[in-house]
A and B are shown apart, each in its own frame.
Chain A
Amino acid sequence: MDKDEIDVINYLDWHAEVNDNNIKPFSIEVLKKAFPEIDEFSLKAIESEWRKARMRMINADFSTFEE
């Protein structure tokens, strides 16, 4: 991950809405406004990776994590 990607991930984390364990779709137009220096294709790719990772964390089973 590079610095741009981390900035987008942080932005998504702060602005995402989660309903019933589902992340509400995020407008690419909003992302484009927040990060005009990053092209749309890259923003979509970062958002998609972030969504997948976050959904995996949301659905993760933490019950075995502790002794």
Chain B
Amino acid sequence: MAYHSRTNDTRGHNENVMANKEVSEWKDRTSRGKEIFVTNTVKKIHPVVDKIVCRLLDVDRIQYVRVSQADLYASSEITIKGRTKTPVSTPGHKSAIGVHLILDYPYNTIQFYEITSAKRGYGGKMVKAVLSSIPEGWQALVAMDYSDGFWDRMIEKYDNISII
């Protein structure tokens, strides 16, 4: 019994090491001098997340990305709380350019939870980066649109975004 449990522990440990290695290799391949934080709970990078992160990092001001099991943050700035570094996406922030997406894999949807753009034009660039990364059958959602026309214009430009 003790032997089996030790064997299983070792296998679990090895799987974790492999998963960590895979995520770490992905970070090295993708970051291009920018910073990507991935929470320990993420063992594999979803292809849609991979594409969104690559495109968001193409936006020149975006310096930091954080990927957790159900969220993706990207921003020009970070806040540090304890050991957690979170890219800033608080709407109305004076200097940050950032976005917080909720990834809802079972429903193939990505929700724009928060977005901010202290510099003209970057809101549209981030939306373009996300929407051009979503495969067929996936859609982006915006809840409670009070943007006074911004999301309406995005809906006209892209066919894979809806407002709920």
Query: Which residues of A are interface residues toward B (Cβ below 8 A)?
Result: 1-3, 5-6, 9-10, 13-14, 16, 18, 21, 53-54, 56-67
Contact B90 A66 (CB under 8 A): no
Bound CA span A6–B147, Å = 22
| A67 in contact with B91 given A2-B69, A2-B70, A56-B114 (CB within 8 Å) | no
Q: Which of the four size classes fits the interface of chain B? A: 20 to 34
Contact A21 B117 (CB under 8 A): no
User: Of all chain A residues, which has the CB nearest B147?
Assistant: A62
Bound CA span A47–B92, Å = 21
Given contacts A1-B68, A5-B70, A64-B119, 16 further A-B contacts (CB under 8 A): A2-B70, A3-B70, A18-B144, A18-B146, A57-B144, A58-B146, A59-B91, A59-B92, A59-B146, A60-B91, A60-B147, A62-B150, A63-B148, A65-B147, A66-B120, A67-B124
Query: Which residues of B are interface residues toward A (Cβ below 8 A)?
Result: 68-71, 90-92, 102, 104, 113-124, 143-144, 146-150, 153, 164
Within the complex, the shortest CB–CB distance from B90 to chain A, in Å, comes to: 6
Contact B68 A64 (CB under 8 A): no
Bound CA span A66–B119, Å = 9
